[in-house]
Amino acid sequence: MINQVEGRSENLSSLEFAVRDYECDLQGVVNNANYQHYLEHARHEFLISMGISFSQLHDEGTDLTVTRVEIDYKYPLRSRDRFVVKSAIKKEGNIRLAFVQDIYRIPDGKHIVSAKVTGVATQKGKPSRPDKIFSLLNLK
Amino acid sequence: MINQVEGRSENLSSLEFAVRDYECDLQGVVNNANYQHYLEHARHEFLISMGISFSQLHDEGTDLTVTRVEIDYKYPLRSRDRFVVKSAIKKEGNIRLAFVQDIYRIPDGKHIVSAKVTGVATQKGKPSRPDKIFSLLNLK
Amino acid sequence: MINQVEGRSENLSSLEFAVRDYECDLQGVVNNANYQHYLEHARHEFLISMGISFSQLHDEGTDLTVTRVEIDYKYPLRSRDRFVVKSAIKKEGNIRLAFVQDIYRIPDGKHIVSAKVTGVATQKGKPSRPDKIFSLLNLK
Amino acid sequence: MINQVEGRSENLSSLEFAVRDYECDLQGVVNNANYQHYLEHARHEFLISMGISFSQLHDEGTDLTVTRVEIDYKYPLRSRDRFVVKSAIKKEGNIRLAFVQDIYRIPDGKHIVSAKVTGVATQKGKPSRPDKIFSLLNLK
């Protein structure tokens, strides 16, 4: 389900979803918070596909934490719409990772959401350079 | 916020809420699954008010698990409705606890939901008689 | 995605899912309320696959409402578990529909949840015999 | 529950919450998406307290839509933590409204989340200057 195009400075994946009725609110569109759920699920699937296991990292003392989310809402999704979340990941400085994520409706490609999610790796609660993660993600 | 009326064979509490817009769905009413959230929150607050700490129980090897939920939906709640969850707890045989829970709209007392939630205590994964819990809940 | 086996007195479908991390709670398992989301989504997809459109029904003055849910929780799902929701639908008297739904983990077939969800059709707020729905569902 | 301090160029409110267990995820902290729910609920209560009714606006042809969300996650909330959402609202150009929202833990005032949420008013789908809303909010 995830198609990776490995690159030097970033890494790409895409994951398909369909809107479920319970994700829509009074206004008949997907509630704004639920896009964060879609984006989170796409990030986790992406990292796992690259061999990055949260539980193994945690056992080794490293945690990944989201520190900032920016989302531009361009057009709403409605009940039963199909869509794809495209995610790219890149280094931001020496200790941060940034996910650039976009949601497009299927099949017409309408641009729904544009997002940037920044995360940091911590060891024992302190920010640390996640060399192992950078290596697994093929980021230089 | 919780008013307890301690009894011999059951124990009562009530907890007030107001509907938040994001809890409503396409049909303009609270989504059916969200009533389980309200009921769960009322149960947890109830147990905590009686001195029952999940984490302390867990450290002592005991867990409380829901095994069955029955919910009758009588009338829907809408955006910004205020309501109260009334919970009674009683023994069901030697190892089970049953919560009888009702939701009433405020201020007119309209009966919204009637529910019964059954739980069991387990020690190391096996059902066990939760004497300490029965004692804290004053159930005989 | 839905495989129907049309019968005289009931109608069957199955729909596959995978657990998303945000559906799990503090205890590391899927939160009880989220199983209702899975069951609801499976019912809606089932009805749509049979040509039953909520919005068209609504425009014709008919609504389908859940009146009762019974769920037995047998075993918990965890992060990333795959599972199938199997749904059967049958008449219950002259105006009620009952969905009998089971959740099984994939690939080992572990029985996770057993549920019965009862609904009623209403016209202008009054319960009514949903002949068109019974006909589309091939129920006699 | 809402204390307003009306000003010339902005308008302030604060609303108290407590974390419910079902809002926490596998990591034992509030799931990132749920902070958007808290922020949304605080905005809606704020607007309603100022006499701004979504349904009345909608009947008059005006809708308010979120176009951008920025959230900085500074420190996580855990089960049963109490917190306050403080919201300020101001004009951003001629047709946009910006909510500056902060979440602080109670009682120690720990800064949890800092957010900016931008919205636009539309009439018949087109952005329009919401004079009535600016007036009700006392914004110049």
* pLDDT tens-digit readout, B19-43: 999 999 888 899 999 999 999 999 9
Determine the residue of chain D that is closest to C32 in CA distance.
D22
pLDDT for the residue numbered C10: 57
pLDDT at A40 over 70: yes
pLDDT digits over B2-25, tens only? 344 443 345 689 999 999 999 998
A21 touches chain C (CB under 8 A): yes
pLDDT at position D7 over 90: no
Given a contact as 3+ CB pairs under 8 Å, which chains touch A? B, C, D
B5 or D56, which is more confident: D56
User: Which pLDDT score is estimated for C131?
Assistant: 83
Residue D111: band (very low, low, confident or very high) from pLDDT cuts 50, 70, 90 = very high
CB pairs under 8 A between A and D: 43
User: Do the Cβ atoms of B69 and C67 come within 8 Å?
Assistant: no
* A25 and chain B in contact, CB less than 8 A: yes
Examine the pLDDT at C6 and tell me if it is beyond 80. no
Closest CA–CA distance from residue B41 to any residue of chain D (Å):
6
pLDDT higher at A140 or A33: A33
Distance CA D46, CA D52 (A): 9
Averaged pLDDT of chain C: 88
Structure tokens at B11: 């124990």
Who wins on pLDDT, B128 or D114? Answer: D114
What pLDDT score does A10 carry? 57
Cβ neighbours of B79 in A, within 8 Å: 26
Percent of chain D surpassing pLDDT 90 = 60
Closest partner residue to B21 (CB to CB) among A21, A24, A26 is: A26
Using one digit for the tens of pLDDT, what is the confidence trace for B92-133? Answer: 988 899 999 999 999 999 999 999 999 998 887 788 888 888
In angstroms, how far is the first alpha carbon of chain D from the final one?
26
User: Least CB-CB distance to C33: which of B37, B68, B70?
Assistant: B37
Span D113-119, mean pLDDT? 97
Of the candidates C23, C79, D72, the residue with the CA atom closest to the CA atom of residue A120: D72
Average pLDDT over residues C41-50: 93
Q: What is the pLDDT of residue D114?
A: 98
How confident is the model over C105-126, as pLDDT tens digits?
999 999 999 999 999 988 877 8
Average pLDDT over chain A, rounded to whole? 88
Mean pLDDT over C124-129 rounds to 83
Chain B residues whose CB is inside 8 A of the D52 CB are none
Contact (Cβ atoms closer than 8 angstroms) between residue B23 and residue B17: no
Q: CA D126, CA D130: separation in Å to the nearest integer?
A: 12
Element (DSSP H or E) covering residue C134: helix C131-136
Cβ-contact A28, A80 below 8 angstroms:
no
Position with higher pLDDT, D54 vs B131: B131
Q: Which two tokens stand for residue B133?
A: 């819990």
Residue C20 has pLDDT above 90, yes or no: yes
Say whether residue C36 is in contact with chain D using an 8 A CB cutoff: no
Query: Do residue A65 and residue D73 have CB atoms under 8 angstroms apart?
Result: yes
CA-based nearest residue in chain B for residue C72: B68
User: What span, in angstroms and rounded, lies between the C-alpha atoms of B112 and A36?
Assistant: 31
Catalytic residue among B21, B25, B59, B108: B25
CA dihedral D79, D80, D82, D88 (to 10 degrees): 50
Identify the residue among A1, A15, A20 best suited for mutation to test binding to C, counting C beta carbons within 10 A and taking the highest: A20
pLDDT: which is higher, C29 or D125: C29
In the predicted model, is pLDDT for residue A63 greater than 90?
A: no
What total number of domains does chain C contain?
Answer: 1
Residue C122 DSSP symbol: E
Give the model's pLDDT for residue C7: 37
Q: Which of D23, D29, D30, D32 would you mutate first to test chain A, the one with the most A CBs within 10 A?
A: D32
Out of B20, B40, B48, closest to residue D41 by CB: B20
Residue pair C34/C23 in contact (Cβ under 8 Å)? The answer is yes
With a cut of 90, say whether residue D78 has pLDDT above it.
yes
- What is the pLDDT averaged over residues A109-115? 98
Q: Average pLDDT, stretch D107-130?
A: 92
Block residue for tokens 């994946």:
A13
Q: Per-residue pLDDT averaged across B42-55, rounded?
A: 89
The Cα–Cα gap between C61 and B90 comes to 43
Give me the CATH number covering residue B113: 3.10.129.10
Report the predicted TM-score, pTM, of the whole model to 2 decimal places.
0.91
Residue C68 token pair: 């009762």
Looking at residue B5, what is its pLDDT?
40
Buried b (16+ CB within 10 A) or exposed e, C19-32: bbbbbbbbbebbbb
If phi over 0 gives left and psi between -120 and 50 gives alpha, with beta otherwise, what is residue B125? Answer: left
Kindly report whether the peptide bond that precedes residue B127 is cis, defined as omega within 30 degrees of 0. no
Residue A111 DSSP SS3: strand
Least confident of A74-88, B1-15, D116-130: B1-15
- CA terminus-to-terminus distance, chain A: 26
With beta carbons under 8 A apart, name residues in chain D contacting C25.
21-22, 24-26
Q: Are strands B82-92 and B11-18 parallel, antiparallel or unpaired?
A: antiparallel
Is residue A25 part of the annotated active site? The answer reads: yes
pLDDT at D94: 85
List b or e across C46-62, with b for residues whose CB sees 16 or more CB atoms inside 10 angstroms: bbeebebebeebeeeeb
Mean pLDDT of the D26-33 span: 92
B59 lies within 8 A of chain C by CB? no
CB pairs under 8 A between A and B: 22
- Min Cα separation C138/chain B (Å): 27
Q: Hey, CA dihedral for C75, C73, D30, A33, is it positive or negative?
A: positive
Phi, psi of B118 (to 5 degrees): -105, 135
Nearest residue in C to D79, CA atom: C26
Q: Which residues pair with A138 in a beta bridge?
A: none
Q: Are B76 and B112 in contact (CB under 8 A)?
A: yes
- Listing DSSP states for D47-106 in one string gives HHHTT--HHHHHHTTEEEEEEEEEEEE-S--BTT-EEEEEEEEEEETTTEEEEEEEEEEE
Range of the domain at D118: 5-136
Binned at pLDDT 50, 70 and 90, residue D122 comes out as confident
pLDDT value at residue D1:
34
Q: Which residues of C are catalytic?
A: 25
